[in-house]
């Protein structure tokens, strides 16, 4: 192991956090720099790494500029564990960022489908990423979307990820069977952390020349599934949207709470952990 010895000071935010750690991966002789945050549990030898750095550029689709950011998982090649971030640079939704994991082979954006590829190369001042967007023609169907309180919805299958503007009630979309892989909620005033999409088990079938429908987004509802195991109750909390999609909402200072009642008598209370 080579490199300069450095010392970093942590801070506490529910976890012990170290920020701005600089590391380098070497792939095919090319040195690729990364900046990381390290999160560790206070009383256990476990944690995770968050990659803060990425490679950015711009692409214009239907006369609309988009910021493109690729975040690699430290191995120097684009694969299933990497993330592509998209953000519109004009209009009212410039603060909404779309995160696509894994990086799709084909992306449908603003009515156009593109085959995309990314390659790490040596630039004049170090490693760079070459991005290629090649427009492709594929069969289309129609999807009616009722997405209250949402900025964007994205649907994915093994071939394509379709990014849909939630403000457009009807969208042309490549035909196929899709999983719901993201719903970006509108920014709520006075809220530090927005609820963020986790998963959804529902599929959407869009056939060429036909119309399908999807209802998603607000209002969100709090749900608790209760399972009894002898003298213990197991509570499973979920924050769900209109398509049954699940969200997480991280608020260390105001955790979800519950109360247990036996008729009119409250016999127990508590706070639910995050996870």
pLDDT digits (tens, 9 = 90+) for 188-235: 777 667 889 999 999 999 999 999 999 999 999 988 888 888 888 788
Range of the domain at 32: 11-51
**Do the domain assignments include residue 15?**
yes
Confidence (pLDDT) at 1: 46
SS3 assignment, position 238:
strand
Bridge partners of 69, per DSSP, are: 56, 85
Mean pLDDT of 5-18: 85
**Do the domain assignments include residue 261?**
yes
Give how far Cα 252 sits from Cα of 15, 70, 255, 273, Å: 11, 29, 6, 9
Average pLDDT, the chain: 90
SS3 assignment, position 100:
strand
**Do the domain assignments include residue 257?**
yes
Residues sharing a CB contact under 8 Å with residue 254, sequence separation 6 or more, in sequence order: none
Mean pLDDT of 153-176: 93
**Do the domain assignments include residue 191?**
no
Least confident of 8-12, 74-78, 188-192: 188-192
**Do the domain assignments include residue 17?**
yes
Give how far Cα 201 sits from Cα of 178, 243, 263, Å: 11, 9, 35
Place of tokens 């979307």: 145
**Do the domain assignments include residue 175?**
no
For strands 161-165 and 150-156, give the pairing.
Answer: antiparallel
Task: Label residue 21 by pLDDT band (50, 70, 90).
Answer: very high
**Do the domain assignments include residue 136?**
no
**Do the domain assignments include residue 32?**
yes
Task: Tell me the percentage of the chain whose pLDDT exceeds 70.
Answer: 95
Predicted TM-score (pTM) of this structure: 0.84
Mean pLDDT of 142-160: 95
Number of domains in the chain: 2
For strands 106-109 and 112-122, give the pairing.
Answer: antiparallel
């Amino acid at each position: 192991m080579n490199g300069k010895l450095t010392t970093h000071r942590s801070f506490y935010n529910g976890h012990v956090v170290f920020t701005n750690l600089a590391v380098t991966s070497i792939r095919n002789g090319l040195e690729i720099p990364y900046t990381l945050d390290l999160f560790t549990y206070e009383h256990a030898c476990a944690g995770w790494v968050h990659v803060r750095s990425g490679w950015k550029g711009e692409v214009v689709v239907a006369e609309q500029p988009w910021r493109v950011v690729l975040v690699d998982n430290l191995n120097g090649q684009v694969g299933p564990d990497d993330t592509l971030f998209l953000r519109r640079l004009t209009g009212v939704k410039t603060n909404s960022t779309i995160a696509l994991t894994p990086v799709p082979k084909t992306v449908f954006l603003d009515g156009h489908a593109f085959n995309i590829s990314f390659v790490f190369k040596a630039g004049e001042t170090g490693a760079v990423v070459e991005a290629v967007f090649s427009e492709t023609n594929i069969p289309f169907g129609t999807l009616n979307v009722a997405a209250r309180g949402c900025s964007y919805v994205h649907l994915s299958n093994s071939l394509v990820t379709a990014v849909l503007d939630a403000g457009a009630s009807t969208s042309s979309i490549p035909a196929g069977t899709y999983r719901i892989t993201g719903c970006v909620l509108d920014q709520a005033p006075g809220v530090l952390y927005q609820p963020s999409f986790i998963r959804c088990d529902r599929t959407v079938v869009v056939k060429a020349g036909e119309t399908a429908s999807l209802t998603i987004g607000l209002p969100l509802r709090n749900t608790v599934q209760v399972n009894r195991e002898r003298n213990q109750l197991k509570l499973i909390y979920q924050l769900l949207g209109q398509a049954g999609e699940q969200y997480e909402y991280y608020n260390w200072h105001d955790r979800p709470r519950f109360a247990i009642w036996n008729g009119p008598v409250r016999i127990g209370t508590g706070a639910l952990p995050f996870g």
